[in-house]
A = this chain, B = another copy of it.
Amino acid sequence: MKVKVYVTLKKGVFDPQGKAVEDALHSLGFSGVGNVRVGKYIEMEINSTSTKEAERQTKEMCEKLLANPVIEDYSFKVEG
């Protein structure tokens, strides 16, 4: 099964990479852009026959490795 994981910094955590991208976009003339936040997007294959089991595993992976739960939020989608 294909899994897509999205990891973002929590609201209120300063995002210097997002700020740099925002400044660069302004310099390029995209003046209407704001609130840029940069996160991670992870794709993977899980060898599992049940969506429930794949979701359980993905949640565990996010909490143990993929995201830092102190400063990051995560969400994911399991595709059949």
**Which residue in B22, B34, B37, B47 is a CB contact (below 8 Å) of A34?**
B47
Q: Does A64 contact B (CB under 8 A)?
A: yes
If A33-B45, A41-B39, A45-B35 touch, whether A28 touches B64 (CB-CB below 8 Å) is yes
CB pair A46–B61 under 8 Å, yes or no, is: no
CB pair A32–B61 under 8 Å, yes or no, is: no
- C-alpha spacing A18/B42, complex, angstroms: 8
CB pair A65–B32 under 8 Å, yes or no, is: no
CB distance from A75 to the nearest CB of B (A): 10
**Could you tell me which A residues sit within 8 Å of B by CB distance?**
6-8, 18, 21-22, 24-25, 28, 30, 32-48, 57, 60-61, 64-66
